[in-house]
């Protein structure tokens, strides 16, 4: 009996001859996709609930401030104090969004698709970091801009009043920018350590919650006015950033002397730089070593 012969069918496959957009386009696309993921855009209603709830809280605080100032000509919250006021919602936002950005890819083993050329491992980490930092900056800065617009309309001194208000808002925006860089680095590093989103969220919250009582303990151990008490606020990322803000711009009028930093203000600047550089370095190292 004759053996059947093999047949090659031409089903029309052709080589791609269009433009190859390269590494920059891949990075931009990953950054944009990560932004959409953070806000729940393009996903189901369940994915949008928590991010937009936190955004609603931040905007509500700004609207209440505008209303209070228009009725009483007094402010219950300053531009610089806004980030500290919504610190807890921001922490929860980080705990939900950071695992969505990186833990899901670890769990689903989709990293080989990202790490195929032209996207490098460091590109992936930096694109995710840039997206999360952008989201946090928007979360902190947009309500301040809304507060500024409301304040300008309540002032009666025209252009000079608007410029004075802008000068008051400037330190708040600088603080928001620094917080976005530092908090995004911490959250993304922690989230990149596990593919389980629930564990990643718990670990992120733990970083902020566990270090909070440590500040109080060190204050008690050191005693009022001691070097240990002045340095203790650097243990918690949130109080570290408040200390940095106080060193850069001074204590706010409604805070009296602010936190008792003593002569250790520059330490808070150095500690913030070390924390940011350390978290980013470890994040890049994590993705150089992660299996793909």
pLDDT digits (tens, 9 = 90+) for 126-159: 999 999 999 999 999 999 999 999 988 887 787 8
pLDDT at 60 over 70: yes
- Burial grade of 54 (CB within 10 A; 0-12, 13-18, 19 or more): buried
Across the range 183-205, mean pLDDT stands at 92
* Segment 13-28, tens digit of pLDDT: 777 777 777 888 888 9
Lowest mean pLDDT among 2-6, 83-87, 282-286: 2-6
pLDDT at 148 (0 to 100): 93
Compute the mean pLDDT over every residue in the chain, rounded to the nearest whole number.
87
pLDDT at 2 (0 to 100): 58
Residue 7 domain flag: no
pLDDT at 3 (0 to 100): 63
Positive or negative, the Cα torsion across 86, 33, 111, 275?
A: negative
Residue 284 domain flag: yes
pLDDT at 115 over 60: yes
- Burial grade of 24 (CB within 10 A; 0-12, 13-18, 19 or more): exposed
| DSSP secondary structure of 177-233 | HHHHHHHHHHHHHHHTT-S-HHHHHHHHHHHHHHHHHHHHHHHHHH-TT-HHHHHGG
Residue 15 domain flag: no
Across the range 193-198, mean pLDDT stands at 88
Residue 10 domain flag: no
Residue 196 domain flag: yes
pLDDT at 88 over 60: yes
Across the range 81-94, mean pLDDT stands at 92
pLDDT at 292 (0 to 100): 60
pLDDT at 265 over 90: no
Task: List, in order, residues 6 or more apart from 243 with CB less than 8 Å away.
Answer: 233, 234, 259, 261, 265, 268
Residue 9 domain flag: no
Residue 258 domain flag: yes
pLDDT at 190 (0 to 100): 95
Q: Which of 84, 90, 105, 92 is nearest to 33 (CA)?
A: 105
**Which of the pair, 75 or 225, is modelled with greater confidence?**
75
Across the range 177-196, mean pLDDT stands at 94
Number of domains within the chain: 1
pLDDT at 172 over 80: yes
pLDDT at 36 (0 to 100): 92
Domain hosting 209: range is 22-289
Residue 107 domain flag: yes
**Which of the pair, 231 or 22, is modelled with greater confidence?**
231
């Amino acid at each position: 009996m004759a053996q059947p012969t093999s047949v090659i069918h031409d089903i029309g496959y052709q080589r791609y001859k269009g433009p190859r957009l390269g590494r920059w386009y891949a990075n931009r696309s990953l950054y944009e996709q990560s932004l959409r993921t953070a806000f729940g855009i393009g996903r189901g209603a369940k994915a949008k609930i928590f991010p937009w709830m936190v955004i609603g809280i931040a905007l509500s605080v700004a609207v209440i401030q505008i209303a209070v100032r228009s009725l009483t000509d007094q402010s219950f919250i300053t531009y610089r104090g806004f980030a500290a006021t919504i610190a807890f919602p921001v922490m929860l936002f980080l705990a939900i969004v950071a695992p969505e950005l990186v833990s899901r890819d670890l769990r689903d083993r989709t990293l080989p698709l990202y790490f195929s050329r032209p996207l490098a491992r460091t590109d992936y980490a930096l694109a995710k970091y840039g997206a999360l930092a952008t989201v946090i900056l928007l979360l902190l800065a947009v309500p301040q801009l809304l507060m500024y617009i409301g304040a300008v309309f309540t002032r009666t001194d025209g252009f000079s009043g608007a410029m004075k208000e802008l000068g008051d808002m400037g330190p708040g925006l600088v603080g928001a920018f620094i917080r976005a860089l530092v908090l995004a680095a911490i959250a993304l590093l922690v989230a990149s350590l596990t593919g389980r989103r629930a564990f990643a969220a718990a670990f992120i919250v733990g970083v902020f919650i566990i270090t909070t009582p440590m500040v109080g303990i060190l204050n008690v151990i050191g005693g009022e006015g001691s070097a240990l008490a002045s340095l203790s606020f650097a243990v918690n990322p949130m109080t570290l950033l408040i200390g940095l803000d106080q060193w850069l711009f001074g204590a706010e009028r409604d805070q009296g002397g602010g936190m008792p930093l003593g002569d250790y203000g520059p330490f808070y600047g150095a500690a913030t730089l070390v924390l940011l550089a350390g978290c980013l370095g470890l994040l890049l190292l994590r993705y150089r070593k992660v299996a793909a």
